[in-house]
Amino acid sequence: MSEEARSAGARITEGESYIGKSVVRPQTARLLAGRGVFTDDIKLPRMTHVAFLRSSHAHARIVSIDAGAAKALPGVVAVIAGEEMARVCGGWVGTLAHFKGMKSAKQYPLAIGRATWQGEPVVAVVAESRAVAEDAVARIAVEWDPLPAVTDPETALDPSTPVIHPELGDNLAFELELTSGDVDRAFREADAVYSDTFWMGRHTGVTLEARTILADFDLSEQRLTVYHSFQAPNMMQDILARHLRIPEHNVRVITKDVGGSFGIKVHIYPDEMAACALAVMLGRPVKFVADRFESFLSDIHARDHRVKAEVAVKRDGTILGMKVDDLTGIGPYSVYPRTSAVEGNQTVRLTPCGYKFRDYAASLKVVLQNKTPMCQYRAVGHPIAFAVMEGMVDRVARELQLDPVEVRRKNYITRDMYPYTSPTGYFFERLSHEEALDRLLEISDYPALCAERDTLRSRGIYRGLGLCTFIELTTPGPAFYGVGGARISSQDGCTIKLEPTGKLICMTGVTEQGQGTDTMIAQVVATAMGVPLDDVRVLTGDTMVTPYGGGTWASRGAGIGGEAALLAGKALKENVLKVAAAILACEPMDLDLRRGRIVDAGTGEVRLDLGELGRIAYFRPDTLPKDFQPELAVTRHYVPRHQGFAFTNGIQLSHVEVDVDTGFVRLLKHWAVEDCGRIINPRLVDEQVRGAVVQGIGAALFEHCVYDEQGQLLTGTMGDYLVPMAAEMPEIVVDHVQTPTLFAEGGFKGAGEAGVAGAPGAVLNAVNDALAPFNARVTRQPITPDVILKALDKL
């Protein structure tokens, strides 16, 4: 053993070896042994676990950190603070160039000098087990100098409010003004103007599988392998390469079956970056799993909005124009790399989009505050936009004593108006509001429900019906993030290869988050090729294996990944038929591939089994015509050709009963009709919609990240943060209208977020319908019992 290694003897543990301060792998040790430097036979470095000391303050200066007792604990491998970590992992700023004027401070894996929200990671402890790491964290003494916390978005921009990041000048991260048409004229010509203020409660994803990452750095090859519960592996590969200064081809990110994500696992988290940096620093595998307490404090939050809305209308219910003022507080940083401006931006742009009025004005302010960072979460901005818009539509119907169904029908963008561009610039190829409404009224027997509601009111039972029209932006186009400078792919690829056995291996850039990506891709490939579904194996989530792609977010799996799979399947089928024609001495056009067999295209007679074709192509190509080359693997990429997004639409109906003495809401039944284009797998789509409706109901009635004035999270456990449970959920009836997009051969759009988009607005309107006999109305979500009792003047 070298002198350097001997001098490190006090730190050498079983399975490790040292050169100076570096842990080395067996490959490196053997390489050095061949050069006469090192001769020991060394075992693989053992797994380590990282735990974080997190800030207990919403805003505080870090005066000192005493980690002596933590370092002395047996089993502790390293204790790392912010400045040391920053030398390995550079910071980031979560802004995009196309959001003009947006600003945010630089963020690092561990806080440096100051903590800016309760739960921000400050010190990382790496140990032989998670238990030892947590024990060591408990031994670290931090001296804090508490600073004033900014917790109220309404006062975040006041001159008397402290600026969280003085270098930014104020707490305004982003602002936007939108104007279309002549809004002042619309309000002057109106017969009536109605206004309301809506409050949407901050909530989070609560995924079944918590955020998890395992990083392994091979010193001998300078290669980082990361196993990650994540949605976009190529995005993570790029970011790790740039911030850890490792060549991108030496970074491999593997994201196999993920136990739920809902958008919260498509962002860069400081603790996950820290885990990867620690693996590079130590040369050992480092694992981090967020426990449920950490998740509430560190997973991104969403939906914290105060929206003021005004609508100008005629007496017959025609909407002439609308004004919207949206204020949202996002946390101390804009989240990297997608930014925390997208939710507000989409909220104000989506609000008017179901209806044909052209005069619209919107103002958006996105402010910083000392709370957990907020960013994109399933159906970004949609539930806010449509709760506001549909809440105002029902307000118009109530005030003018009109049928809420007919008010919607009068104001819809009608089938003869497409293609159509909204006042906020969104292009709609073809939506189906009228067809979806008709279908919903039919399957719910809406007139009978109304009659029953009216009869029961005379008996003191207060039931309500609430409609919510929505659209969903899916399948983002080629410029969505790239135009702002983010290296997030809008295209996706699919590689399919025929094995010698006649089976197919399909590799795709979209990922499996539990929504059925594997099944959907396999169905598309099997149909395109003409083989049984069981003959297709799908591989996802591995940057070393799968084609480069954007991953799974914004309901893009079928619309982009499915289209790439369709194109690849058709191309491979064409190649297979050429091989079959070479074997059978006929023309490819005379053959077809059906149920995994080569058949005569005219008669259907089986000519050749696909496994036999594979055997000949791979093992006996000498029997094929001279100069013929079998091509049995193809890759196809797909870039969306539509403008902006492939929009879907639908409508939901909620049926509720309100106990006016306790304020409790009982969900009786829920209907959802949506149009996601051509449906690949009806069962998967139905369950996507149902699950999303449940998530939307959670936002409407239960889920809320509540903070006190000091920025302390009061609902940080499953006992305090209420998620919807099976016992509270009603029967959810799902039906469909199908309007395939003509911009893609498959006609596929997305379906993953429609349920969330419409459920909160439907429940809100149903509750207000139930409260109508009392001339009471609620505009705050979640609609907890105290919200209802206050509206009834009982609190």
Contact predicate 716/297, CB 8 Å: yes
Sequence-ordered list of residues with C-beta below 8 angstroms from that of 511, at least 6 positions apart, any chain: 230, 231, 232, 233, 255, 258, 517, 540, 541, 551, 552
**304-350 pLDDT, tens per residue?**
999 999 999 999 999 999 999 999 999 999 999 999 999 999 999 99
Beta sheet of 665-675, edge-to-edge order = 462-474, 646-658, 665-675, 731-736
Average pLDDT over residues 4-25: 32
Contact predicate 201/228, CB 8 Å: no
Per-residue confidence (pLDDT) for residue 44, from 0 to 100: 57
What torsion do the CA atoms of 526, 531, 537, 539 make, to the nearest 10 degrees?
Answer: -40
Whether residue 782 is preceded by a cis peptide bond, meaning omega within 30 degrees of 0, is yes
Residue 680 has phi, psi (to 5 degrees) of -85, -50
Token pair 């939050």: residue: 301
Average pLDDT over residues 118-126: 98
Per-residue confidence (pLDDT) for residue 480, from 0 to 100: 86
Per-residue confidence (pLDDT) for residue 43, from 0 to 100: 52
Structure tokens at 72: 């002395």
Sign of the CA dihedral running 576, 578, 584, 590: positive
Per-residue confidence (pLDDT) for residue 686, from 0 to 100: 98
Closest CA to 395 of 192, 183, 201: 192
Per-residue confidence (pLDDT) for residue 460, from 0 to 100: 97
Q: Which residues of 305-324 are buried (b: 16+ CB within 10 A; e: fewer)?
A: bbbebbbbbeeebbbbbbbb
Q: In the chain, what are the domains?
A: 3-36+491-638 (3.30.365.10), 39-147+211-258+264-283 (3.90.1170.50), 301-477+642-791 (3.30.365.10)
Question: How does the average pLDDT of the chain come out, rounded?
Answer: 94
Structure tokens at 250: 């030496």
Q: What is the CA radius of gyration of the chain?
A: 29
**589-626 pLDDT, tens per residue?**
999 999 999 999 999 999 999 999 999 999 999 999 99
Question: In this structure, how many other beta carbons lie within 10 angstroms of the beta carbon of residue 727?
Answer: 5
CA dist., res. 483 & res. 490, Å (int): 11
What does the DSSP 8-state code read for residue 678? S
Please report which residue ranges of 179-291 form alpha helices under DSSP H. Answer: 183-188, 233-244, 270-282
Whether residue 337 is preceded by a cis peptide bond, meaning omega within 30 degrees of 0, is yes
Sequence-ordered list of residues with C-beta below 8 angstroms from that of 326, at least 6 positions apart, any chain: 305, 306, 307, 344, 347, 348, 362, 363, 364, 365, 384
Contact predicate 347/381, CB 8 Å: yes
Has residue 11 got a pLDDT over 60?
no
Question: In this structure, how many other beta carbons lie within 10 angstroms of the beta carbon of residue 450?
Answer: 15
CA dist., res. 407 & res. 579, Å (int): 61
Contact predicate 176/344, CB 8 Å: yes
What does the DSSP 8-state code read for residue 154? G
345 sits in which H/E element: helix 342-350
Has residue 87 got a pLDDT over 70?
yes
Sign of the CA dihedral running 398, 404, 409, 413: positive
Sequence-ordered list of residues with C-beta below 8 angstroms from that of 18, at least 6 positions apart, any chain: 4, 5, 8, 11, 12, 24
The DSSP result for 379-424, as a single string, is STTHHHHHHHHHHHHHHHHHHTT--HHHHHHHHBPPGGG-SEE-TT
Structure tokens at 429: 């190829």
What torsion do the CA atoms of 310, 316, 317, 319 make, to the nearest 10 degrees?
Answer: -60
Sign of the CA dihedral running 742, 746, 752, 755: positive
Token pair 């490196």: residue: 28
Has residue 25 got a pLDDT over 80?
no
The strand pair at 223-228 and 251-254 is best described as parallel
Closest CA to 173 of 115, 105, 106: 105
Has residue 1 got a pLDDT over 90?
no
CA dist., res. 307 & res. 781, Å (int): 12
CA dist., res. 549 & res. 232, Å (int): 8
Please state, for a pLDDT cut of 70, what percent of the chain lies above it.
Answer: 94
Long-range contact list for 593-597, CB < 8 A, 24+ apart? 593/529, 593/530, 593/531, 594/530, 595/530, 595/531, 595/532, 596/502, 596/530, 596/531, 596/532, 596/535
What does the DSSP 8-state code read for residue 45? P
CA dist., res. 489 & res. 554, Å (int): 13
Has residue 356 got a pLDDT over 90?
yes
Contact predicate 299/205, CB 8 Å: yes
Cα 678 to chain centroid distance, Å, stands at 22
Has residue 176 got a pLDDT over 80?
yes
pTM of the model: 0.94
Structure tokens at 220: 């001998």
Closest CA to 23 of 35, 34, 483, 38: 38
What torsion do the CA atoms of 575, 576, 580, 585 make, to the nearest 10 degrees?
Answer: -10
**219-268 pLDDT, tens per residue?**
999 999 999 999 999 999 999 999 999 999 999 999 999 999 999 999 99
**476-531 pLDDT, tens per residue?**
998 889 899 999 999 999 999 999 999 999 999 999 999 999 999 999 999 999 99
Residue 257 has phi, psi (to 5 degrees) of -55, 120
Per-residue confidence (pLDDT) for residue 32, from 0 to 100: 39
Contact predicate 498/633, CB 8 Å: yes
**498-508 pLDDT, tens per residue?**
999 999 999 99
Half-sphere exposure of 200 (CA within 13 A, CB side): 32
Sign of the CA dihedral running 579, 580, 583, 589: negative
Per-residue confidence (pLDDT) for residue 643, from 0 to 100: 84
The strand pair at 212-218 and 223-228 is best described as antiparallel
Per-residue confidence (pLDDT) for residue 479, from 0 to 100: 85
CA dist., res. 50 & res. 127, Å (int): 6
Closest CA to 377 of 404, 402, 347: 347
**36-80 pLDDT, tens per residue?**
434 344 455 799 999 999 999 999 999 999 999 999 999 999 999
Sequence-ordered list of residues with C-beta below 8 angstroms from that of 162, at least 6 positions apart, any chain: 147, 148, 150
Contact predicate 370/59, CB 8 Å: yes
Number of residues assigned to the chain: 795
Sequence-ordered list of residues with C-beta below 8 angstroms from that of 783, at least 6 positions apart, any chain: 665, 700, 701, 763, 764, 767
What does the DSSP 8-state code read for residue 339? -
Sign of the CA dihedral running 58, 61, 63, 69: positive
